[in-house]
C-alpha cells in the first residue's frame, strides 16, 4: 500500500510539472524551445510596422528575425509583442519578451535596468524637409521656420535648447501628423532620428516628396535590450549580429528598408555591449 501511495504521489508530481511547463511555455518571452517572443514597435515605418493585413516589416523586424534564426528559431516560431518606448524596460524585466529590437538607443540610464547587445545601427538626429525646399541646410535655419516633432520629444528640445531657440515648435501626438503638416506646408521640418525619418520617407506614398537634410545632431546607438545579467544571451546575440554584418545581410537590410529615402547610413557599428 505504501508503494502504491508513493507511486500515485510521484505520478501526480510529474503531471503537475508537465502542466506547469505547458502553461509557462511561450508566454514569458519564449520559455520553451519552440517559441520566442520579441518586442518591436508596431508603428514605425522602415523599422517596426504592423501592416493592415497583420504582417510585420522593417529593419528592426528583419534584424530580430535574423538573430532569432541564429538562436534556433524559425520565423514562424516568433511572436511579436508591441513595445512602446515607455514600456520596453518593463517588458524585459517582467519576462514578457526575450529581447527588444525597437529603435532602442543605448544610454547609461537604461543600462541600469536592462542589458544590451550590439549596437546594430548608428543613427543621428536629423531633419526631414520637403524635397523642393533648399532653404534649410543647417539647424540654425530653423530659427525662422516651423518645426514639428512629437509631444515630449527629446529631439525637439535639443533643437530648441541648443541649436535654434527661435524655432516655432509644433508638437503633435505622432510623427504621421507631422508628416501631413510637412506635406501641406503647415510646418517646414520634422525632427527625430534619421532612421525613423528615412522609414517614413521611404514609404511608397511618400517617395520623392521629402528629403533628409543630412545633419548629425546626436549619436543614437540602437541596441537589442535583454534581461540584466543574461550574459549568455547577450553573447549569442552579439555573435549573430557580427555574422549578419560579415555575410552581407546587414547591408542588404539597410538598402531594403531605407534605400528609397536615399538614407546615407553609417557603416555597421562595432559591437560594444559585452559586459
Q: Please give the helix or strand (H or E) that residue 197 lies within, else none.
A: helix 194-201
Say whether pLDDT at 11 is over 90: no
Rounded Cα gap, residues 238 and 225, in angstroms: 12
DSSP code at position 268: P
Say whether pLDDT at 31 is over 70: no
Domain made up of 124-212: CATH architecture: 3-Layer(aba) Sandwich (3.40)
The whole-number average pLDDT for the span 15-30 is 41
Which CATH number does 29-123+221-261 carry?
Answer: 3.40.190.10
Q: How confident is the model at residue 33 (pLDDT cuts 50, 70, 90)?
A: low
Residue spans in the chain of domains classed CATH 3.40.190.10: 29-123+221-261, 124-212
What is the reported pLDDT for 19? 40
The whole-number average pLDDT for the span 211-234 is 95
Per residue in 163-214, pLDDT (tens digit) is 999 999 999 888 889 999 999 999 999 999 999 999 999 988 999 999 999 9
Per residue in 54-95, pLDDT (tens digit) is 999 999 999 999 999 999 999 999 999 999 888 999 999 999
- Name the residue with higher pLDDT: 46 or 152: 46
DSSP code at position 160: I
Omega of the bond prior to 235 within 30 degrees of 0, cis?
Answer: no
What is the reported pLDDT for 158? 85
Work out whether the CA dihedral 99, 102, 105, 110 comes out positive or negative: negative
Amino acid at each position: 500500500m505504501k508503494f502504491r501511495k508513493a507511486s500515485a504521489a510521484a505520478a501526480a508530481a510529474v503531471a503537475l510539472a508537465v502542466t506547469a511547463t505547458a502553461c509557462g511555455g511561450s508566454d514569458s518571452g519564449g520559455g520553451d524551445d519552440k517559441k520566442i517572443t520579441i518586442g518591436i514597435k508596431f508603428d514605425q515605418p522602415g523599422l517596426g510596422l504592423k501592416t493592415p493585413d497583420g504582417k510585420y516589416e522593417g529593419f528592426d523586424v528583419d534584424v530580430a528575425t535574423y538573430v532569432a534564426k541564429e538562436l534556433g528559431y524559425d520565423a514562424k516560431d516568433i511572436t511579436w509583442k508591441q513595445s512602446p518606448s515607455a514600456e520596453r524596460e518593463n517588458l524585459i524585466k517582467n519576462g514578457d519578451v526575450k529581447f527588444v529590437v525597437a529603435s532602442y538607443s543605448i544610454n547609461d540610464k537604461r543600462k541600469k535596468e536592462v542589458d544590451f547587445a550590439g549596437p546594430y545601427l548608428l543613427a543621428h538626429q536629423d531633419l526631414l524637409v520637403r524635397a523642393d525646399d533648399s532653404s534649410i541646410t543647417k539647424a540654425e535655419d530653423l530659427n525662422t521656420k516651423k518645426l514639428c516633432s512629437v509631444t515630449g520629444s527629446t529631439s525637439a528640445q535639443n533643437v530648441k535648447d541648443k541649436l535654434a531657440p527661435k524655432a516655432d515648435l509644433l508638437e503633435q501626438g505622432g510623427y504621421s501628423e507631422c508628416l501631413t503638416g510637412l506635406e501641406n506646408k503647415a510646418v517646414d521640418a520634422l525632427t527625430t532620428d534619421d532612421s525613423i525619418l528615412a522609414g517614413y520617407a521611404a514609404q511608397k506614398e511618400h517617395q520623392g516628396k521629402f528629403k533628409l537634410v543630412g545633419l548629425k545632431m546626436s549619436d543614437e546607438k540602437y541596441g537589442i535590450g535583454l534581461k540584466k545579467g543574461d550574459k549568455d544571451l547577450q553573447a549569442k546575440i552579439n555573435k549573430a549580429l557580427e555574422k549578419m554584418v560579415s555575410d552581407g545581410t546587414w547591408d542588404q537590410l539597410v538598402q531594403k528598408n531605407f534605400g528609397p529615402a536615399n538614407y546615407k547610413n553609417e557603416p555597421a557599428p562595432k559591437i560594444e555591449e559585452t559586459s
